[in-house]
Structure 1
Amino acid sequence: MQLKPGTVDEYRRRHDAIWPELSALLTEAGIRDYSIFLDEQSLALFAVLRVRPGNTRDTLPDHPVMRRWWDYMAPLMEVEPGNRPKEWSLPLMFHMD
């Protein structure tokens, strides 16, 4: 994902005060151990999360709470139509178990 210049502090503030209903929704969808990292030079965001077997993560874009969060965050990030954050998959270069 990609932040817009000048929005780092606000992005962090909003995530520090994540809505309880959004946190619950993510947990109910089977998401756990979720972190977002920032490359301070490029303002690129890198999310790492674990999902439980049988998770329903793919249904989140249709949920009203998720859509409200995207609308709330849209001024801070590069977004797709509908305010979904632009995301780029990154190729795995190394993994050690």
Structure 2
Amino acid sequence: MAERVAFRMRVHPGKIAEYKKRHDEIWPELAQALRDAGVSDYSIWHDPETDYLFATLIRSDDHAMADLPKTDANKRWWAFMDDIMDYNDDGTPTQVDLVQVFHLP
């Protein structure tokens, strides 16, 4: 059965317009890499008080999300975004997985 996952990231203060612009123009090869990895229904929300980004997506049972960081499209996207988001020393976005505590089907 497909699984919904959620996580948070952080955009640098004053950079949400640029963040949104870049995502409005998401590269077709990155969107395809996400789909190929079993990702669908991907949404990102912004909290203007904290600049946290809250993301949810659905991943298929046979998802290959662990392989996404190895794709050229993903590597280039992370390099493209690192000037406006919090990143780890290894060049990956700082991400905190969130635990579901309630769901109303």
Deviates more, 1:81-90 or 1:11-20: 81-90
Match of residue 100 from structure 2: 92
Match of residue 87 from structure 2: 79
Match of residue 63 from structure 1: 71
When normalised by structure 1's length, the TM-score is 0.94
Q: 1:36 aligns with which of 26, 41, 44?
A: 44
Deviates more, 1:52-61 or 1:9-18: 52-61
Other structure's SS at 1:89 match? strand
Other structure's SS at 1:61 match? helix
When normalised by structure 2's length, the TM-score is 0.88
Match of residue 10 from structure 2: 2
Unpaired stretches in structure 2, ≥5 consecutive residues? 1-8
Unpaired stretches in structure 1, ≥5 consecutive residues? none
Match of residue 53 from structure 2: 45
Structure with the bigger percentage of strand: 2
Whole-angstrom distance in 2 between the partners of 1:83 and 1:36: 20
State the Cα deviation string for residues 52-82 of structure 1 (Å, max 9, x = none). Answer: 1201111111112101100000000000123
Structure with the bigger percentage of helix: 1
Matched residue count: 97
Other structure's SS at 1:38 match? strand
Amino acid at match of 1:14: R
